[in-house]
Amino acid sequence: MSRRPSLADTMKAVAAKAAPPSVPMKSAAPKPVARAKAQKEGEGERKPFFAATREGLKRITVAVAPDEHKRLKRLSVDAGRSIEDLMREALADLFAKHD
């Protein structure tokens, strides 16, 4: 029985054949003066992306055990509702309990 070739050796051989000659490239980053000027003019400022349906809402993150996460995903599929929707319902029930 013949031995299979090593994946690492095969990858090294392919990389050696396909490696293009290294040529130093000029930096495409703007000069610090140009960057500062652009920021003063309002250019280059990036707003974080958010879904318009979530405008004005805050995120809550909670860590759960893997089995709880699996049960929540299964409940989501069985109920045909999103996990977010189920969590909002649970939060509403919690608030109703404590009012």
Confidence at residue 51, expressed as pLDDT on a 0 to 100 scale? 75
Give the DSSP H or E segment for 88: helix 83-97
Summarize pLDDT for 26-85 with one digit per residue, the tens.
Answer: 655 555 555 555 555 555 567 777 678 878 888 899 999 999 999 999 999 999 999 999
Over residues 10-30, the mean pLDDT reads 67
Greater confidence, 30 or 89? Answer: 89
The pLDDT score that the predictor gives to residue 3 is 78
pLDDT score for 16: 76
Residues making up the chain, counted from first to last: 99
Choosing among 2.60.120.1310, 1.10.1220.10, 3.30.70.3420, 3.20.20.140, the CATH entry for 57-99 is 1.10.1220.10
DSSP 95: H
CA nearest neighbour of 58 among 91, 13, 10:
91
Enter the pTM of the model.
Answer: 0.48
